[in-house]
Amino acid sequence: MPEEPAESAAEKDLNWVAASFAVGSSARWQHRHFPGKKLTSYHVTRLDGRHVIQSDSQSSASMLRQTLRVEPAELGALRFSWKVPELISGADLRQRDGDDSPVRIVLAFEGDRSRFSAKNAMLSELALALTGEPLPYATLMYVWGNHSAPGSIIVNSRTDRIRKLVIESGPQQLDRWLDYERDIRADYEQAFGEMPGALVGIGLMTDTDNTRQQTRAWYGPLTLLAGPVDAAAGPSPSVVFGKP
C-alpha cells in the first residue's frame, strides 16, 4: 500500500520511531494506508516514564508496520504493552459495521496460497490491484474488544484469513499499562487450527473508521523473542526488533 511522502511531518515522526523502537534491527516502521480511509496519527512521546507511540484516530484506519522474516522454527514469544483510556462507543469486533479497536497488534504470515478459497483468492487479487500487495496468507490480530470474552477468536467478516484474538475486553483494565508476553505459535494454532508459516510482518493499528468515533491509545515497544517457547524455561532472549 502507498506510504506517506518522505517530507511529511508524520514521516519525520516515523524516523524517530525507527530509531527508538527498532533497536538491533535495520527495519523501518512504515505508515501503511488503506484505500478510501483517513489516516490514524502515530507519533512518539513520553508517558508515565515510558517512551511510547501515541495513536489518535478520528473516523480513521491506518497501520504502523514493519516487514521482516522469521522462519517457523524460530517463532517464539512477542512482548508488547498498551494503555487504553476508554472504549470506543458502539464498537463490536463481531460486526462488520462495528469492527473497530482502540489497539491492535497485527501479525502477518506466509503460507500455501493454493489453499485459498475462491473468495479469498479474489480478495487477494483485489488487494494487489488496489494496494500493490496481495492479501497475506494469514493475519492474526491481538485486540481489545467491548463485548467478546478474553481468549475469544473472532473471524473477520470479509475473509477467514484474518482472525482476531481478544486479549482484553470491557472497561475493567482501562487507563493503566498492561504488559503481555504471547506465544506466537500457540496463538496462531489456536486461531487457525494449523501450524504457522514464516512471520513476514508486524504492526500496530488503532481504528475508528466503522463507528465514526475518535479514540486515543498508547503502545510500548515490541520485542520478538527467538523460539520455540519452552513452557518451563520460556523463549530465548534474542531481540529481533523493539527495545529490550
Give how many domains the chain has, as a whole number: 1
* CATH number of 162's domain: 2.60.120
Is residue 159 in a domain?
Answer: yes
Domain boundaries, position 202: 9-239
* Backbone torsion region of residue 59, taken as left when φ is above 0, otherwise alpha when ψ lies between -120 and 50, otherwise beta: left
Q: Is 146 helix (H, G, I), strand (E, B) or coil?
A: coil
pLDDT at 4 over 50: no
Question: Could you tell me whether strands 223-226 and 77-83 are parallel, antiparallel, or unpaired per DSSP bridges?
Answer: antiparallel
Cell 511510547 -> residue? 52
Indicate the burial class of 172 (C-beta count within 10 angstroms; 0-12, 13-18, 19 or more).
exposed
Is residue 71 in a domain?
Answer: yes
Q: What's the confidence (pLDDT) of residue 7? A: 35
pLDDT at 101 over 60: yes
pLDDT at 116 over 50: yes
Q: Cell numbers of 79, please?
A: 512482548
Q: What's the confidence (pLDDT) of residue 100? A: 96
pLDDT at 229 over 70: no
pLDDT at 19 over 50: no
pLDDT at 117 over 60: yes
Distance, in Å, from the CA atom of 216 to the CA atom of 41, rounded to the nearest integer, reads 9
Cell 493454493 -> residue? 114
Is residue 2 in a domain?
Answer: no
Mean pLDDT, all residues of the chain: 85
Q: What's the confidence (pLDDT) of residue 230? A: 64
Each residue's pLDDT tens digit, 44-75: 889 999 889 999 999 999 999 988 889 999 99
Is residue 3 in a domain?
Answer: no
